[in-house]
A and B are shown apart, each in its own frame.
Chain A
């Protein structure tokens, strides 16, 4: 079973910001398409650590995680099997992310 770890502050940016790619190189869309999707495709389990950044906007989180389901990249069930999310500093962010995944509208 392959397992990968992503530390957002170390592997992506300490200043994640923006929703779409045009909003900056550390946006939710860039994180999702360039780092998260390839890692999810290559591994059975992906552990994501959110500690160490300068804060997350909900728009970033919704685009990065809700976008996986909304754009039909992964199903909710697959994400529940594959993703392990940790954030010691603010556990409510993790609840928020699962809410974005579980309630994401799916584009027809």
Chain B
């Protein structure tokens, strides 16, 4: 080896080292970009789930209003509320099944109990008398729906990492 080749060898070594470092930096940057992308996509998914849960809370509030309205009117005059209760209950039951990946494990079964309570007994019986707002059936329905809403809020909070 000629003595004049030494700077060339040094330059080659420096270039190789720089190239190696750049590769490492690039890998790190790619990894960080992918992590950021994944975090953003997770945050977006959680936000979309939260919006759906908040809509369920609103629909449950509507369902309770319809339930109280229905049962405090006599059976002969409340066919429209009855149809709306059935339609809204059916829609909420579908959502409990569709969202089972991010709802609690017994959500669909819990909602089934609500539906049985509010559409059972004398539901859609024309001769049914109007109930008082203090009737055990209305208290039971309020209690079940309120518990379900609380669990939905807790699920929203856990999506926010709030709890």
Task: Determine the main DSSP class of B at the interface with A.
Answer: helix
Q: Are A96 and B125 in contact (CB under 8 A)?
A: no
Cα of A59 to Cα of B120 in the assembled complex, Å: 5
Q: How large is the interface on B (under 10, 10 to 19, 20 to 34, 35 or more residues)?
A: 20 to 34
CB pair B124 A18 closer than 8 Å:
yes
Bound Cα distance from A60 to B119, whole angstroms: 9
Nearest CB in chain B: distance from A87 CB, A: 10
Q: Decide: B83 and A90 in contact? CB cutoff 8 A.
A: no
Closest chain B residue to A62, Cβ basis: B120
Question: Chain B: which residue is nearest A54 at the CB level?
Answer: B87
Q: Tell me, yes or no, whether B122 is within 8 Å of chain A by CB.
A: yes
B125 and A20 form a contact (CB under 8 A):
yes
B interface residues, Cβ below 8 angstroms from A: 79, 82-83, 86-87, 89-90, 93-94, 97, 108-109, 111-112, 115-116, 119-127
- The binding surface of chain A is classed by DSSP as loop
Counting contact residues on chain A (CB < 8 A from B), the size range is 20 to 34
Docked-complex contact B108 and A92, CB < 8 angstroms: yes
B90 adjacent to A55 (CB under 8 Å): yes
Specify which of B83, B93, B116, B122 lies most central, judged by the most chain A CB atoms within 10 Å of its CB. Answer: B116
How far apart are the CA atoms of A95 and B89 in the complex, in Å?
16
7 CB < 8 A contacts A-B = A19-B123, A22-B126, A22-B127, A58-B121, A59-B119, A59-B121, A95-B112
